[in-house]
Structure 1
């Protein structure tokens, strides 16, 4: 008896693989079609997210793109949550983790967060798949392990380091999702929902006297690029960790 999707999922967690044997298929005209595998499902899912955004990703949509029925997918993945886990794991698998350096730990942890952010931003809205998901995929766990090792090398106590990994990951997820949503809105015909800095400054200047600080510091409130703000927020979180070694 062939293994169930649940058994294959468990195998992926144990070995970092679990790819099931491909099943040969024939198209309507009798020609051979590419077999359905976990890799083909994941690649197709990434293509859908890249073109249409994460909101468009469903098991039925993937099945349609593969010219098959949803039941064929369930022979390889358990459900949509399992597919989400595979997608996030695949993105994490390409992140290079440095050897933890006590003298350079701050730059290292910011670098890992930045690399994770950049992976998420390749696929609009995909960081949503990482919310409320237990890090059980080995590739995802590898990144969490690397972040934890860097923080520990920086002198952060284990409990603080453990929670910091969770907090930093949550911020990266949320930041990436916000940028994806803003980019999607700005590309729509009603893109006026996303205004530029000049327009925002004009609106702040026109505020009534009840908002004196916003009017006075409008330039500061609207300054910097999204990358500037990302590095500021991550740096603020890192620098606030008790017991951490100061930058060299």
Structure 2
């Protein structure tokens, strides 16, 4: 029987290509593969088993690098937050700056359908996620907003951005009714509203076009503006109280 070395030499002499070595597993490689899977198939397709299959290994191998699915979810959101650009706080532009951070998060979530479910479920300990929280706090507190108010506002903003991204993902995936629809769907919806019984739904019938107006992102911007205008900045807080 020939030695292993001779068999390898014979294989190379025949032109048979050698199998490329597998890259070693790591948390970074697992996270990258998970994001690629979600981008192609949606977050619902992501399980430890489907991820292991994609990586050409068994699920048990993943647990040497990822504690569990919840840990993987935090790694995913951390990776998305890693590239969010955080501005140097400018108190006179704080609403614009916070809006920009929220838009960046929105666009990252939308690139990976359904992944905002993970963002809404995690307990935030990942340093990349905390970096975004820190940056948003710096913007709001720098504008003279009380720390507790700033913290609660950031919670509300994260919830809204995550829920918005989930709604868009559901609409794009045929997951049910949504406010986000094309012109043909909008026309159908207007017709349905305008044909409702007038004695029970007079307002919906009368304002069907207004109720169905706006693009996805127009409604997103409207809601962010509504949330942020409820926060008093330093100039509002410093205003003198009206005299009796």
Give the structure-2-normalised TM-score. 0.83
Instruction: Note if contact 1:59-1:80 (Cα within 8 Å) is conserved in structure 2.
Output: yes
Q: Distance in 1 between matches of 2:24 and 2:121?
A: 32
Describe the shift of the 1:245–1:234 C-alpha distance in structure 2 as closer, same or farther (beyond 3 A): farther
Instruction: Note if contact 1:157-1:243 (Cα within 8 Å) is conserved in structure 2.
Output: no
Describe the shift of the 1:103–1:156 C-alpha distance in structure 2 as closer, same or farther (beyond 3 A): same
Q: Distance in 2 between matches of 1:144 and 1:218?
A: 39
Q: Distance in 2 between matches of 1:30 and 1:103?
A: 59
Choose the corresponding residue for 2:54, options 65, 86, 95.
65
Specify the structure having the higher radius of gyration (Cα).
Answer: 2
Deviation (angstroms), 1:155: 2.0
Deviation (angstroms), 1:242: 3.6
Give 2:73's aligned residue: 84
Give 2:31's aligned residue: 42
Q: Secondary structure at the match of 1:91?
A: helix
Deviation (angstroms), 1:149: 1.1
Give 1:129's aligned residue: 118
Q: Distance in 1 between matches of 2:123 and 2:80?
A: 16
Choose the corresponding residue for 1:240, options 227, 230, 233.
230
Q: Which runs of 5+ in 1 are unaligned?
A: 1-28, 189-193
Give 2:98's aligned residue: 109
Question: What does the per-residue CA deviation read over 1:105-152, in whole Å, with 9 as the maximum and x for residues that have no partner?
Answer: 010011110110000000000000011322110000011111111111
Q: Distance in 2 between matches of 1:196 and 1:245?
A: 45
Question: What does the per-residue CA deviation read over 1:50-77, in whole Å, with 9 as the maximum and x for residues that have no partner?
Answer: 1110001011111011111111100111
Q: Secondary structure at the match of 2:196?
A: coil
Give 2:128's aligned residue: 139
Q: Secondary structure at the match of 2:145?
A: coil
Describe the shift of the 1:198–1:244 C-alpha distance in structure 2 as closer, same or farther (beyond 3 A): farther
Deviation (angstroms), 1:245: 4.5
Q: Distance in 2 between matches of 1:76 and 1:42?
A: 10
Q: Distance in 2 between matches of 1:221 and 1:112?
A: 28
Q: Secondary structure at the match of 1:97?
A: coil
- RMSD, aligned CA: 1.7
Q: Distance in 1 between matches of 2:196 and 2:234?
A: 42
Deviation (angstroms), 1:35: 1.5
Q: Secondary structure at the match of 1:170?
A: helix
Describe the shift of the 1:118–1:244 C-alpha distance in structure 2 as closer, same or farther (beyond 3 A): farther
